Structure 1
Amino acid sequence: MTEPVCVILVERDTAVRARLVEHLCQAGYAVTAVSDGHAYRRHLSDRHYAVALIAVELPDPPGQVLIDHTRRNSASAIIGIATEDTVELRVGCYRAGADLFLRAPVDDLELAAAIASLARRYERLRAVSRSPGRWRLSARRRALATPDGDLLELSPKECRLLELLALGDGRAVARGVLLEGLYARDDESAARALETLVRRTRRKLAARWPGPSPILTEHGVGYAFSVPLAWD
């Protein structure tokens, strides 16, 4: 039998926590639920959780601090949940490392589907990172080697994009940083050029690499090269 997807949930409100646990268990997930950040950190260090659900409006430590801690200390996908829904709060969560932001009360079916999607994506990425080789970028040769040794020739802009993403060490690089590094300006024209460049680079990788694209979009933040990338 397939092992259930393990989920960790931190939510201060007892009733909300109980409802989420009940629904997620019914959906087939193995759920560990805690009421505060201190207990959350202890459990997170004990085992691997595919997905972490973090109530952003926790008081001590705040939810964004827990998101950042999770991103730095685990391979879990991260969903931030909050009753408040402002641009500033969402951007703060994404910058801290969240994969998804949902407004509470969360629809049960949407939450279950989001967990399934993120768990699948992260498991594919973990499989890539466990492969015998690794991605290697040679700026001097303007080439990218896939984990199985295939070599992709890059345009100057594609190479520069990957150089900038490599600096993120797996975390999202802010859109403004990419625009400045690629085009030396931050305007609508440059933003469109960046989106086109990312799409073109993803297509080039997809034509030679059967796995999921390592270039991920962090909505409201920028882009990340989500698996280890060695470069010179």
Structure 2
Amino acid sequence: MTFVLVVDDDPAMRRTLTINLRARDYEVETAGDGRSALQIVDERMPDVILLDLGLPDLDGVAVLTRLRTFTQVPVIVVSARTESDDKVEALDLGADDFITKPFSIEELLARVRATSRRVGREEPELVVEADGLRLDVTDSRATRDGVEIHLTPIEWRIVEVLARRRGRLVRQAELLSAVWGPAYERQTNYLRVHMASIRRKLEVDAGRPVLFLTEPGMGYRFTGS
């Protein structure tokens, strides 16, 4: 399992990134300042570091400089700074990539996947087969008895989050945040609509689902093996 260290002084940003990365089977640890980040690295080396530049003690440039004195761990700078000089400095100091806030979660995850591939640690593939249904979550492809089933991008995002945590309850707020972002954590009607569509497409009997289960008032669970 790929271990990602998220270094950011914004608790909301740390939480959003943690939810989205864990939903894809990344192991995540967070730090709110530079010294804490370096301590975590000293105790256990991450596979990828997401590093904000605007930290309250050591800034991200200082953290990156220290890291490069003893490790070549991949570092993706995630910063609100938009000046080209900041980007050039970070890359010159050894950052592997630079993404500017605000960003889309999908873009950031694509950068993490690309960086993971370069160091030989790619997001794990996931294929689920049950009752004639085959879900290739990695390639976003679904078939039943060889017949292809079309899911929308949002439906695939929901399926992926649930499938990568199969057997475990995913709470409504966590699923909403992972798919739409933290501003939508109370929009439970979004989930009801899309889950109904997913069941119509993927369950043998949408009225009696056996794969995508609802835990009333709590969340959803995927039971596929």
2:46 corresponds to which letter in structure 1? Y
Aligned match of 2:113? 116
Distance in 2, matches of 1:122 and 1:72, equals 19
| Structure 2 residue 81 is the aligned partner of structure 1 residue 84 | yes
Deviation >3 Å, runs of 4+: none
User: Counterparts of 1:183-202 in structure 2 under 5 Å?
Assistant: none
Q: What TM-score do you get using the length of structure 1 for normalisation? A: 0.50
Q: CA deviation at 1:19?
A: 0.9
Distance in 1, matches of 2:24 and 2:102, equals 18
Distance in 1, matches of 2:53 and 2:90, equals 8
| Structure 2 residue 96 is the aligned partner of structure 1 residue 73 | no
1:64 corresponds to which letter in structure 2? V
Aligned match of 2:22? 25
Aligned match of 1:52? 49
| Structure 2 residue 103 is the aligned partner of structure 1 residue 99 | no
1:10 corresponds to which letter in structure 2? V
Q: Does the 8 A contact of 1:27 with 1:112 survive in 2?
A: no
| Structure 2 residue 40 is the aligned partner of structure 1 residue 40 | no
Q: What TM-score do you get using the length of structure 2 for normalisation? A: 0.51
List gaps (5 residues or longer) in structure 2.
Answer: 122-225
Q: CA deviation at 1:123?
A: 3.0
Residue aligned with 1:45, SS: helix
Q: CA deviation at 1:48?
A: 2.3
2:113 corresponds to which letter in structure 1? A
Q: Does the 8 A contact of 1:50 with 1:75 survive in 2?
A: no
Q: Does the 8 A contact of 1:65 with 1:96 survive in 2?
A: no
Distance in 1, matches of 2:31 and 2:109, equals 19
Residue aligned with 2:69, SS: helix
Q: Does the 8 A contact of 2:32 with 2:55 survive in 1?
A: no
Q: CA deviation at 1:58?
A: 1.3
1:77 corresponds to which letter in structure 2? P
Q: Does the 8 A contact of 2:9 with 2:56 survive in 1?
A: no
Residue aligned with 2:51, SS: strand
Q: CA deviation at 1:52?
A: 0.5
Q: CA deviation at 1:56?
A: 0.9
Distance in 2, matches of 1:37 and 1:117, equals 25
Aligned length: 121
Residue aligned with 2:107, SS: helix
Residue aligned with 2:50, SS: strand
Residue aligned with 1:113, SS: helix
Residue-by-residue CA offset, 1:90-121 (whole Å, 9 max, x unaligned): 01111221010000122111111211111221
Residue-by-residue CA offset, 1:144-164 (whole Å, 9 max, x unaligned): xxxxxxxxxxxxxxxxxxxxx
Identity of aligned residues (%): 26
Distance in 2, matches of 1:59 and 1:35, equals 8
Q: Does the 8 A contact of 1:48 with 1:75 survive in 2?
A: no
Q: CA deviation at 1:87?
A: 0.8
Distance in 2, matches of 1:12 and 1:101, equals 17
Residue-by-residue CA offset, 1:169-195 (whole Å, 9 max, x unaligned): xxxxxxxxxxxxxxxxxxxxxxxxxxx
| Structure 2 residue 4 is the aligned partner of structure 1 residue 7 | yes
Q: CA deviation at 1:71?
A: 2.2
List gaps (5 residues or longer) in structure 1.
Answer: 125-232
Residue-by-residue CA offset, 1:46-69 (whole Å, 9 max, x unaligned): 122111110011132010111122
